[in-house]
Each structure stands twice: as structure tokens, then as C-alpha cells.
Amino acid sequence: MISANALSTTKPKHILTVDVEDYFQVEAFAGSISRESWSQFPCRVTRNCRLLLDIFELYGVKATFFVLGWVARHFPEVVREIHERGHELACHSFWHHRVDSLTPQEFRFDTRAACDAIQQAAGVRVAGYRAPTWSITSRALWALDVLAEEGFQYDSSIYPIHHDLYGIPNASRYPYQHACNNGRSLLEFPPATIRIARMNLPAAGGGYLRIFPLFYTQWVFRQFERRRQPLVLYLHPWEVDPEQPRIAEKLKSRFRHYTNLHRTQARLEYLLKHYAFESFRDHLARGQHTGARLDMKKVPPAQAATRQAINA
């Protein structure tokens, strides 16, 4: 007879990620806060990262922290602490520019600067990348070629949804090997979505974790576990900080940034209690998800829709 404990170990481990940036560095406020003024704002990223580290230690989980190079340059002590407490460090750009607003040369320079700052802070090379605001869109797929050339092992930047700021709706909802133009390949790990009425809806991360009801998030987890697929959960340190300073911005930006900040920590702890998580590093070390090879640039829309339906 198989014990209950043995059965529980057969559930897939999900992937826990943190995008390390401060409250004033987000895309929602980019129109009113210049990067030159970042140093003028009271920083809370160190406090908030340490809160997350303590929560993760309480539940015995390790995460991947996608660190902004600016944060690593200004607060190397917290980057070292993330590494010393056993978590994975990865790259979230240096200046939080949208990738699809850069040239390939600018993107390469920004990525190298960020990786150098992280390495200087913690003495480790990074293997993973996540674009600010999920901004590797259909017009910036060249960025995956650059990442492969720079030695990255995986990326987690392509959101397979319709959105006013990002997304490639016909991209795979599950991990795959992206075939680059330079003959290389890169593992792509999309954030969690659910397919309803032939549409992909976002789930289990950032504002979607805060704004959508918890039963929706639980349902999405069940769907991923039924398919034995890892769900990529993400959040930001500022999302566990309801006391952060308020920025005067347009209503949509304030709604996206501030709604239900007071619920994030409790929802995060609920998920950590009820589901198993690991970092990308540990996921890949177990030999998980080499993924089907796919080049999104060469998938016609009709064919992509067919693949998407099969994935759903």
C-alpha cells in the first residue's frame, strides 16, 4: 500500500520567484518618476526582501530572486543575504527599461551591467533572466538570441496573454525550448495562465494574485497539478508592504499597484502552506523540463492556435 506521504511527493513542485525592485521603480510609475530621481526616494526593498526571506525560511522553501542591477549596485548586502540563505539569484535588467524599447546593443549592455552588479555583490554568475514588465514581446524576440549568446540557461519573460503592456497570446503556456536564430536554444518558462473560452487568462502572480479571489488561484493550481506541470508564481517585495509611500499617478496605475497590498502576505503564506515550491535552479538540477523545441517566429497564427488548444 502507498502511504499518504508517498502520494504527496508525487505532486509537481511549483516554481517560486521574486522580482526584486522597489515600489518607485515599477512600470506603472515610469511616466512620473525618472530613473535619475530613484535615489531621492526612501528605499524599502531591503526591508521587504528580508521579510520575504523570513517567510520562505518559515515554510522551508527556496526561490529564484530576479534582481534589478540598480538594487544590487546600491544594496549589495541584501543580494549577498539572498544568496547566503540558499536562494537563486537571477537577472531582472539594470534600469528596468522595457526590452521592446531598446536596441539589441542597448539590451546587451544593460544585461551585462546587471549581471556584473549581481556578481560583484554575491560572487555568483546568474543563469536566468526575466524582463521588466514581461517586455519580451513579439517585436523583441531577438532578445532571446542575445540572452543565449550571453550564456543564459533560461528565460521567464513571455506572458502568453493579451495585455495593453505586454504578452504574446499564441506563445506556449508551458515550458519549452525556444529555438534562437543563432542556432542556440533557451529554455522559456511562462508565468501561470489558465485557458477559458479559447483565451489565456493570467493567474497566480503579482496583481493577479492580489486582485483575483483566492479560490481562482487555487483552481489554477489544481489545473496545473492535474497536468503535472509546474506553475510559475511571482511577486515583488513591495507587494508585502502595504505601508509604502503613495505615488500620485493615474487611476489605472494606482489600481494595479496598490489594490489589496494588505492581502499579499496572507495569500502567499497560504500557498506556501498548501503547495510545494522550489527555485528554477533546483527545478533544472532535477532534470525537469527540457521542453519541446519551438520557435515562435516560425509558428503561423493558425498553427499556434492549434498548439495552444492542445496545451489547454
- Report yes or no on 204 lying in a domain: yes
In tens, the pLDDT along 228-276 reads 999 999 999 999 999 999 998 889 899 999 999 999 999 999 999 999 9
- Report yes or no on 154 lying in a domain: yes
- pLDDT class of 305 with cuts at 50, 70, 90: very low
State the pTM of this model: 0.89
- Report yes or no on 23 lying in a domain: no
Q: So what's the pLDDT on residue 289? A: 58
- When divided into structural domains, the chain yields a total of 1
Q: Which three cell numbers stand for residue 211?
A: 486582485
- Report yes or no on 2 lying in a domain: no
Average pLDDT over residues 44-67: 98
Average pLDDT over residues 54-70: 98
Q: Is the pLDDT of residue 212 over 70?
A: yes
Containing structural domain, residue 293: 36-311
- Report yes or no on 145 lying in a domain: yes
CATH number at residue 243: 3.20.20.370
Q: Which of 242, 202, 234, 210 is nearest to 23 (CA)?
A: 242
- Report yes or no on 16 lying in a domain: no
Q: So what's the pLDDT on residue 310? A: 30
- Report yes or no on 27 lying in a domain: no
- pLDDT class of 166 with cuts at 50, 70, 90: confident
Burial of 140 (C-beta count, 10 Å sphere; 0-12/13-18/19+): buried
Which is it for strands 176-179 and 185-188: parallel, antiparallel or unpaired? antiparallel
- Nearest 5 degrees, angle CA 133-CA 227-CA 90? 35
Q: Is the pLDDT of residue 297 over 60?
A: no
- Report yes or no on 17 lying in a domain: no
Q: So what's the pLDDT on residue 150? A: 97
- pLDDT class of 164 with cuts at 50, 70, 90: confident
For residue 305, the one-letter residue type is A
